[in-house]
Amino acid sequence: MEVVFNGNLYKKNARGGKGMGGLCFEIFQYFIKKSDLDYKSLQLTFNQFHSSNKYIVLSEEDWKEKTEDTRKRYFAPVPYKNLKLYFFKRWANHEKGAKSNHIDNMIAFAVEQGYDIKF
């Protein structure tokens, strides 16, 4: 799978932020630049896209409460209003018939938002 978003190419299994996790992170960052939602509303918006983790977006306070191993599973923080937000790195699509296809969910969200995204 290859996806172009904001002029950047993202590929399945790519390294260095150009994989599908990086795509999901960029969609998140693009959304919050135009958003005025509060922290809890952001969590509700993004947590629904990932079936195995309900902590996709964390404030710095909530992130610090996680174990060191869990904290490594988040991208570096991004500023939002008066917060630092952490976004989950691990995104995947499951085999057919699985409960959720996380990456497809984020891509569908970007399409619904009217973002310029190409496959």
* Span 1-50, pLDDT tens digits: 889 999 999 988 777 668 888 999 999 999 999 999 999 999 999 999 98
> Nearest Cα to 77, choosing from 30, 25, 2, 31?
25
* Span 80-108, pLDDT tens digits: 999 999 999 988 876 555 556 888 999 99
Distance CA 107, CA 111 (A): 6
User: What is this structure's pTM?
Assistant: 0.90
The pLDDT of residue 94 is 66
The pLDDT of residue 80 is 97
Distance CA 30, CA 102 (A): 18
Alpha helices, DSSP H only, in the chain? 20-33, 39-47, 60-64, 68-71, 102-112
Average pLDDT over residues 51-72: 94
16 φψ region: left (φ > 0), alpha (ψ -120 to 50), beta (else)? left
The pLDDT of residue 52 is 81
> Nearest Cα to 107, choosing from 92, 97, 96?
92
The pLDDT of residue 92 is 82
The pLDDT of residue 85 is 98
